[in-house]
Chains A and B, each alone.
Chain A
């Protein structure tokens, strides 16, 4: 078909595709423990495949479509075709073809992804996309998780929910990450969207059990209520009791981060009447004895997060305990296990029957040693995702490497997260993993000592690496065997891992390392830098050499205004740049703000850091169609 070229809509400024950031379906900094956990965002097309009629005379055969334009025929066809596009990258590309495609794409898009809630306003988003069923919003930058951002910075859900309440009455899914959500927002959500199905809150705050109660009671079609790593205040409301008394549609209930006691009997009854429940993650107020009761009620579970993996205190010593092992054996569908808080390691063997079918195991709250791990991990041949504490030591990692040949993602967290702690894992563990787990795609590894040799080995043994995050906890630590900086190791990673998109570096790093990143890191999208580099050159290498860079977070590194300005050609292509405790001055930030009007340049100085001299404490800048936001707190100045 012939489509005449029409001028682009003005909504596209800044031209370099402000949505080009959305290159992936799943965000790479998704901290959930299993990729199969990510809720399916593709459900748009079911009602659009009705007819492929090209007759097009008069009203179309597709219900609720109104096209006031003469090329209605064309748009009908387009609509039928474009509805098959699911990837947002493809959709963004399609929307740029011409006005007609832009319009139709906007009509057929059902999943709205906004990587920075301040890049676009709710009004603009809802007026462009009118038929959205699912919204994903991300707010604060990741460094906010580590107390580098003062509280009350922003990322409020409120304006979004009120705009969407009017624009999307058929909204079914909301997925928020690092947003501030209040109980009132949840109430609006619960009351505005009749068929609401999925609520996923990752690293959010601002709400409490009051809000949960409202959602539980009003969202009668709720299938998914996932609260992950969020801060939930205890309003002393028995929110579990607010679920409907009749059978529920619940498929996933994740509340391990809700750190308040729950009404267990109510939970047990809820599980009993939720026949579709597949994913259940409990908080630490559920004991192992109570877990047993739930498992008996719900043997169909695929994903289980235990509560405290020990009996509650009122169980006397020697009292007859239920047979946990057989409960696990009866749960034949279990593929993902997590929780294990406050574990008494003796109980861990209860999970033995499911090990052979597990694809995801999260022991990152379980303080166990290598000997306790080995019998379990020795059976986990299918394991793809493994999160664990470094209490298992290098020896434990060797055991993992020996068995888990299918491992895709490994995260090793420190049990003692201080710079000068013992450090039970080291390059030995990393080397073992690299040799045993050749299919590794993602690794997060905290340690106290590391060598270039091990990192280089991993770069060669694991060519599929997409995410490489190594945190040597002591700042500026060199290779502890050779005494050299860690440049060569990280350099090898960017050189040899051709699919690398996310990199987090640590240890002693000179400008040379950044030179490597600039030269070889052509696919890198996210880069995290802390206490690294010698001069502005380092940052320049990266800004000039990494065309795909979208998210750059830097702290405590000696980069100044010259380096900042050297990236001016690229900032419109990025989602954000964060630089804290570097050598930026307000003059430099001012200049970049003037040169790039579509960047919002936020500078904050904490009350206590006024004496940083001329240096800016934190720079957080991001592209935006809206200009400076109006909800910025006092400590934020927008240049």
Chain B
């Protein structure tokens, strides 16, 4: 058919493209060992990869590559000159980015933000796969092909904030917003189908491969709520989409306010709180046993105790957070506020029903 012959005609031209790419690969190999090169996956802000392909010969680009975040993938436990942790040692939260990056101030915010959460979610499963033999070579081959495609270079030196900004766009290194193009309602099927059906599937996921990702998180771009603490004039903000459990939230609260608390106590009491005392202050922030209690204001304006409802429901309802002294909490009779909320709800519903029926 006519179409076919055209395709075969076109082929010779097509093949011409490939040597060019290989040439470019070879050029890059000059810098480092080719093996390292093959196994390196690079990241940068979206939209930059074509400049590398077009300007492959541009030495400046290559220099900029150095400053990029690099994820090292390794096969069969090869050790590289850059110290990556081996798959066995990999733990949630371990930093396994290029050592060079630590020199780059711009890289640090990126590391802080997703490192604790992101690596557990997205990166780990990839590592786990690496260590199983059959997939290994295939993954490596894929990387060879895709390594140069995924390489980016920053657009201009002035964009020092490029890295943290890209972190906002990506939920994990190696993944891009909105890609693959699947609606959030279709995500997480591997984990949800084998876990409990009706009750909210929380943090536990029986599925080994995929760490649980809350559907809520993939929808929201970052949900910042204000958090204030009694006695501390300056409030902070927390991004709830970065956490998937109350425990993590209370850890964060702890971190946020511990310093402030210490500072204030120092200035007022004139002494230094021991670490133990500090810890005591924040322990039990969720169950009311500590000195402080975490409460929140929901979308209806009611003040609620944090921890009663399932996490994702909490995230959808919470508008602000507050850390109160536990003594004050009972004074507010939060215990009855739950009932209070229900009756408020009831009232609202009734009012609403009344409104619509008349």
Contacts and interface: CB of A to CB of B under 8 A. Distances in A.
A143 B150 contact: no
A534 B55 CA distance: 12
**Residue among A417, A473, A491 having the largest count of chain B Cβ atoms under 10 Å:** A417
Interface in A157-210: 187, 190, 210
B190 A420 contact: no
Interface stretch (B56-64, B169-177, B257-265, B279-287): B169-177
Interface stretch (A48-56, A95-103, A565-573, A603-611): A603-611
B190 A343 contact: no
A210 B299 CA distance: 14
A488 B353 CA distance: 61
Nearest to A151: B221
Interface string A96-131: 000000000000000000000000000000000000
A391 to B, nearest CB: 8
B343 interface: no
A477 B180 contact: no
Contacts of B356: 187, 190, 213-214, 217-218
Contacts of A512: 10, 13-14
Nearest to B193: A367
Interface stretch (B43-51, B91-99, B243-251): B43-51
A492 B3 contact: yes
Contacts of B184: 147
Contact of B145 (A234, A242, A420, A477): A477
Given A471-B180, A483-B145, A610-B165, A308 B197 contact: yes
A366 B146 CA distance: 31
A343 B195 CA distance: 10
Interface residues of A, number: 85
Interface stretch (B24-32, B75-83, B154-162): B154-162
Nearest to A484: B14
Given A233-B316, A495-B3, A558-B50, A473 B180 contact: yes
B119 to A, nearest CB: 14
A313 B199 contact: yes
Nearest to B139: A420
Contact of B17 (A147, A148, A366, A510): A510
Interface residues of B, number: 71
B46 A342 contact: no
Contacts of B183: 145-146, 229
B190 A615 contact: no
A612 B197 contact: no
Contacts of A210: 352
Contact of B198 (A312, A366, A510): A312
A220 B45 CA distance: 53
Q: Is the interface of A mostly helix, strand, loop or mixed?
A: loop
Contacts of A139: none
B47 A147 contact: no
B120 interface: no
A229 B185 CA distance: 8
B181 A530 contact: yes
Contact of A483 (B18, B175, B190, B194): B18
B357 interface: yes
A316 to B, nearest CB: 16
A415 B353 CA distance: 42
A435 interface: no
A476 B316 contact: no
B7 interface: yes
Contacts of B145: 477-478, 483
Contacts of A312: 197-198
A285 interface: yes
A89 B232 CA distance: 65
B146 A474 contact: yes
B198 A287 contact: yes
B174 A419 contact: yes
B197 A342 contact: yes
Nearest to B342: A236
Given A187-B356, A367-B190, A488-B10, A534 B174 contact: no
B56 to A, nearest CB: 12
A603 to B, nearest CB: 15
A84 B176 CA distance: 50
Contacts of A88: none
A54 to B, nearest CB: 50
B192 interface: yes
10 contacts: A284-B197, A341-B197, A342-B192, A414-B180, A416-B210, A419-B176, A556-B46, A581-B47, A582-B47, A608-B168
A422 to B, nearest CB: 8
B146 A343 contact: no
A431 to B, nearest CB: 17
B234 interface: no
B149 A475 contact: yes
B122 interface: yes
Listed residue (B7, B129, B187) with the most chain A CB atoms within 10 angstroms of its CB = B7
Interface string A341-368: 1110000000000000000000011110
Contacts of A476: 49, 146, 149-150
B182 A284 contact: no
A517 to B, nearest CB: 14
Given A257-B185, A582-B47, A608-B169, A150 B139 contact: no
B209 interface: yes
A638 interface: no
B50 A474 contact: no
Nearest to A511: B17
Given A146-B179, A473-B180, A492-B3, A485 B14 contact: yes
B194 A611 contact: no
